[in-house]
Amino acid sequence: MKKLFLIILLTACALSGCNTSSQKINEQTINPTPSEKTEMTSPISEDPSSKSIRESTATASIQSILDKKIEAVQTKNLDLYLSTITTADSYYWNEQKRWFTEMTKDGVRDLKYILREVTLEEGEIAIARVEQTHHYHQNFSISYPLRFIQEEDEWKDAGYNFEEQKTERYTIKYMSGESKVTDFQKIIDTAYTNLASIFSEQPDPNFEIKLFHSRELLRQRTIPTIGWLFTGWGEANESLKLYTGHPVLEPYYGTVQHELVHHITMRICNNNLPGWIADGIALQYGNYALEGGNAITLGYATKDQVRVTVDFLENVDLWDAEKQEETWDWYNASQMLTEYIIESYGHDQLMALFYEAGKKPYNENVMNPKFNEQNNKTMGQVLQTVLGITKEELTEAYWTWLDQTYPD
């Protein structure tokens, strides 16, 4: 499901200094920091010439893989692209399907990789320093360490060379030099605790959170065609990606809890519901729950700004929204409509919508042009099955509730 997590967090937006979609994207070049460089570790007894041969062989193989990636993007061959990705990491596998979809969109061109360096580590692991360039509205150049592992005697792309810290409930992966790992572990643990009393379902026991201290790298490795630099991104079957560079940590509590709600509820509905109810429930039990109010009572929106139809929420295109206010209004209206359902029918009935949708097979949104249409149709079906109402009746009742609850 296309879920714009962006910075949104209307609470976090002011603090985070998020870019509006009307702002032009400045060209970014991300240079490797000294702390990101990976030193080669090999047995002391290994003959230098043998090590050199192994590195040369690995370099040639990895260059071939990078060339195959370019060919796959140029020919829009997803199977060819996925043949370069490890099958050992389901989160990365799904994320790379999305990245491939992004890089094959109209307007993206001239993808190139320059292999700067390859170093070998113990355990059949290679770290490749890659420089990636491409054009989308303007030129981009990013440099990053890419991890390769051996699978059935072939090198496979295993993703950014993160460091990692495992806990009993999740794994944090982070860039070298990240100084806020402990802070984010506390934030994540708080979200887990808060949501345990709301949802009977728990997050995936293998859930991953990836921390980036480069906001541009986060965008380019996640959703490179989106028109703004966001604070975080999550999808139903992917890891949660977060930018850690904001100077104040407090808004991250809402951001992380918002995203964890997404992770839980999208698993329940098998990714079969539209964005408005997905983000409505994430704001309801995420950001705004921590602030103790809703979009209107917290002062983020007026009644008129959230007085929209279900049809509008399902069909508006926010991907290239010209004003950030359009995005804010959509999120706030989604939250208020979700709150109306809870106030009128109860939390259990709201969740029944998700469970009913989850009876359908998982709806893959990558390479699925009818994804939104399919989920909008499912929304109408579950409203009728669970609540016995149509979208039009839901809109009418929601407007009446707004007028009664927030009189002029």
CATH number for position 48? 3.10.450.50
User: Are 152 and 281 found together in one domain?
Assistant: no
User: Are 293 and 384 found together in one domain?
Assistant: yes
Residue range 152-191, pLDDT digits in tens: 899 999 999 999 999 999 999 999 999 999 999 999 999 9
55 located within any domain = yes
SS3 category, 119: strand
- C-alpha distances in Å from residue 203, one per residue of 207, 259, 263: 7, 11, 7
User: Are 190 and 215 found together in one domain?
Assistant: yes
Q: Which of 40, 36, 55 is nearest to 121 (CA)?
A: 40
For residue 349, the domain's CATH number is 1.10.390
On whether the CB atoms of residues 266 and 238 are closer than 8 A, the answer is no
User: Are 144 and 192 found together in one domain?
Assistant: no
pLDDT score for 123:
78
32 located within any domain = no
Task: Identify the domain containing residue 139 by its residue range.
Answer: 39-160
30 located within any domain = no
User: Are 286 and 208 found together in one domain?
Assistant: yes
d(CA 275, CA 315): 10
Residue range 82-105, pLDDT digits in tens: 999 999 999 999 999 999 999 999
pTM: 0.84
User: Are 96 and 218 found together in one domain?
Assistant: no
Does residue 233 register a pLDDT over 50?
yes
192 located within any domain = yes
Q: What is the tally of structural domains in the chain?
A: 2
User: Are 263 and 312 found together in one domain?
Assistant: yes
Q: Which of 160, 183, 216 is the last residue of a domain?
A: 160
User: Are 168 and 149 found together in one domain?
Assistant: no
Q: Which of 131, 160, 189 is the last residue of a domain?
A: 160
pLDDT score for 219:
97
User: Are 112 and 191 found together in one domain?
Assistant: no
Residue range 280-306, pLDDT digits in tens: 999 999 999 999 999 999 999 999 999
Q: Which of 104, 134, 160 is the last residue of a domain?
A: 160
138 located within any domain = yes
Q: Which of 401, 289, 285, 290 is nearest to 337 (CA)?
A: 401
**DSSP string covering 260-322, please?**
HHHHHHHHHTTT-S-HHHHHHHHIIIIIHHHHTS-TTTTTS--HHHH---HHHHHH---TT-S
92 located within any domain = yes
83 located within any domain = yes
pLDDT score for 227:
84
User: Are 319 and 187 found together in one domain?
Assistant: yes
136 exposure class (CB count in 10 Å sphere: 0-12, 13-18, 19+) = buried
Residue range 21-75, pLDDT digits in tens: 333 333 333 333 333 333 444 445 556 677 788 889 999 999 999 999 999 999 9
Q: Any residues with CB less than 8 A from the CB of 350 and at least 6 apart, and which?
A: 281, 338, 341, 342
Does residue 373 register a pLDDT over 70?
yes
User: Are 197 and 248 found together in one domain?
Assistant: yes
d(CA 348, CA 167): 31
User: Are 77 and 209 found together in one domain?
Assistant: no
SS3 category, 48: helix
